[in-house]
Amino acid sequence: MIPKKGMIKVSDTFERIVHWCLAISCIVLMLSGLGMMFHSFNFLAIPVGGLKNLKLVHNFTGLIFIPSLFFAILVWWKEAAIFDVPDDIEWIKCAGGYLWHVENPPETGKYNPGQKAFFIAVAVFGIIMIISGLIMWFPLEFSASTVRVMFFLHALGFFVIFPFFFIHLYLGTIGVPGSFPAIMTGYVTRAWCEKQCPKWLREMEENGTLEVFGEEKPAAEHH
């Protein structure tokens, strides 16, 4: 997939690597966790040779998830964890026009409030799951009551992140056409930007930092 001339850069190579490492590790962790948590999902252990091997897959995938989450927080904290009041509040009131028709939904920056909520949920509960998971991995080093609490927190983290993840997956693919190239090539169309992140597009053009495929200089310098 090669971007076309005039497409706008919204993510760099490092951001896409972090995104994919986090996404893939999340999928593996959720599926393997389901396979161990519920008897009806034990069949998920068949491809890896049983529940014992599934637990190994789960634990060692967690070691990929840890640095992925760390870098994700480092990369996106400033843009995706701070709500822009009052615009984001107004966006939330009308759900950004996703659930019902809204003539002119409030403009958003690079990430809308829904994406910000997803990021915060993954960041906060991801940290909780890392801590609880490490304690569960070495239960003999802690008291039985502590380990029981960790099992509860680990399950809670799963039930919070699981629905967010699949809503994000849907909106990043077929739910919002034109979004998928952002995580494949890093580029999207101008029309997509004007609809999904008009405030960010305008700010980037005004300060001359917008990167357009096929143009040697930022678009703002051509005015």
Q: Is the pLDDT of residue 222 over 50?
A: no
Buried b / exposed e along 15-40 (16+ C-beta atoms within 10 A): beebbebbbebbebbbebbbbeeeee
pLDDT of residue 215: 77
Of residues 175 and 136, more confidently modeled: 136
Mean of the pLDDT values across residues 178-199? 91
| Architecture of the CATH domain 8-222 | Up-down Bundle (1.20)
Mean of the pLDDT values across residues 43-48? 95
Q: Which residue is associated with the tokens 């927080």?
A: 73
Burial class of residue 41 in the structure, from the number of CB atoms within 10 Å of its CB (0-12 exposed, 13-18 middle, 19+ buried) = middle
Per-residue pLDDT tens over the stretch 149-181? 999 999 999 999 988 888 888 888 877 888 888
User: Residue 132 — very low, low, confident or very high, per pLDDT cuts 50/70/90?
Assistant: very high
Of residues 45 and 108, more confidently modeled: 45
Domain ranges of the chain: 8-222
DSSP state of 188: E
Q: List alpha helices for the chain, DSSP H.
A: 13-37, 51-80, 87-93, 113-137, 144-170, 180-184, 190-196, 198-206
pLDDT of residue 219: 45
pLDDT of residue 220: 44
CB-facing half-sphere around the CA of 41: CA atoms within 13 A? 10
- Dmax over Cα atoms in the chain, in whole Å? 67
Of residues 213 and 58, more confidently modeled: 58
